[in-house]
Amino acid sequence: MTMKLAGMILIGFTCGLASAQTPNGQPSFEVASIKPAPPPEAGKRIAVGSPPSPGRYACAFCSLRMLIVQAYGIVGYQLTAPDWLDSERFNISAKMPDGTPKEQMQLMLQNLLTERFKLAVHRDQKEMQMYDLVVAKGGPKMKESTEEPGEKPLDASGLTAGGRGSLTMGKDGFPAKEKDGFPAFIGRGSGIIMMNGRTKLKAEMETMEQFAKRLSNQIGKPVTDATGLTAKYDFTLIWDGGGRGFPMPPGGGPDANTPLGVAPDGDSLPTIYSAVQSQLGLKLESKKGQVEIIVVDHMERVPTEN
């Protein structure tokens, strides 16, 4: 049985004070190349992004939506844009002065999108559904962390040119050995793996504030930590769905059609809302609130020449 990993977004930048300038005085990359990304070959794993590299910004197979999110330092639900921004993919490589801080790198990327794609945006406020992460009746079921996780070097023994090699699968439908999945391939801390429409989060030394942000990324709605829990925790969460885009349960709460106690190794899995409650002893409570958003007014599909 083979595994296909979800793409990972890794954005690199270094810290410092130097910057280049556009003729109008705005920070810009010293030089930048934008090329359409070729379609992926069948059966091959797609790596989205690039490792950090001093003095360079790179993004491989990146959609225009991803680039805008990076440029404005927002999360996906804060962007209102045409659907075609997800389908157009580009390879971008740009040089910036060593020591460029994150904030200036984002301004450089904003200006690059403006100059090359004629991007025009405006900020607005939008009322949307959001959630408070609270402790469910019966209390948390997570294990408090006792020590910092050790460094876990990448084990590439199962990697092939076409993706991953043969894997030993566990009852939960995910690789049974660390080297076949995570956390080995992500280093230390927490990570998410998606396979066959299922998602597994393995967390080490995770604060509830960090977990709320992860939930926000998965659900595509703002999630605020309201648990009052101040410790760090080790836990595993498994649910039905490959990330964003799965149907929202009725009323924004646990899916009434999915039993809360569905076992991770059963034929069916709970929604993320039900899994948080049944597996972790936490709960997502729905509410409404105002969120700042970025609205795309105009953007060209084809960039100007390098």
Predicted pLDDT at 191: 76
Predicted pLDDT at 295: 98
**Average of pLDDT values for 39-56?**
64
Predicted pLDDT at 297: 98
State the Cα–Cα distance between residues 292 and 267, nearest whole angstrom: 40
Predicted pLDDT at 10: 34
Residue 253 — pLDDT band, cuts 50, 70, 90?
Answer: very low
State the Cα–Cα distance between residues 58 and 173, nearest whole angstrom: 34
- Look at 23 and 12; give whichever has higher pLDDT: 23
Task: Provide the token pair at 218.
Answer: 């998965």
Lowest-confidence pick of 76-85, 180-189, 198-207: 180-189
Residue with tokens 């769905």: 241
Instruction: Label residues 210-242 b or e (16+ Cβ within 10 Å = b).
Output: bbbbbbbebbbbbbbbebebeebbbbebbbbbe
pLDDT tens across 125-181, in order? 999 999 999 999 999 999 999 876 554 443 433 333 334 445 566 666 666 655 444
Share of the chain above pLDDT 70, in %: 65
Instruction: Label residues 163-188 b or e (16+ Cβ within 10 Å = b).
Output: ebeebebeebbbbeeebbbbbbbbee
Task: Provide the token pair at 219.
Answer: 């659900």
State the Cα–Cα distance between residues 94 and 92, nearest whole angstrom: 7
Given a cut of 60, is residue 18 above it in pLDDT?
no
State the Cα–Cα distance between residues 117 and 111, nearest whole angstrom: 10
Predicted pLDDT at 252: 39
CA dihedral of 287, 293, 15, 223, whole degrees rounded to 10: 10
Predicted pLDDT at 249: 38
Residue 110: count of CB within 10 angstroms of its CB: 21
- Phi and psi angles of residue 205, each rounded to the nearest 5 degrees, phi first: 55, 45
Does residue 57 sit in helix, strand or coil?
strand
How is the chain split into domains, by residue range? Answer: 20-117, 129-291
pLDDT tens across 218-246, in order? 898 999 999 999 999 999 999 987 544 33
0.75 surpassed by pTM: no
Find out whether 127 and 222 touch, Cβ atoms under 8 Å: no
Residue 63 — pLDDT band, cuts 50, 70, 90?
Answer: very high
Share of the chain above pLDDT 90, in %: 47
Does residue 167 sit in helix, strand or coil?
coil
- CA dist 91 → 4, 48, 121, 186 (Å): 21, 9, 22, 23
State the Cα–Cα distance between residues 209 and 204, nearest whole angstrom: 13
Q: Write the DSSP symbol of residue 215.
A: H
**Average of pLDDT values for 109-127?**
96
CA dihedral of 8, 173, 242, 73, whole degrees rounded to 10: -30
Task: Provide the token pair at 48.
Answer: 């989205």
Reply yes or no: is the peptide bond before residue 183 cis, omega within 30 of 0. yes
Predicted pLDDT at 69: 93
- Of the candidates 19, 153, 163, which has an alpha carbon nearest to the alpha carbon of residue 97? 19
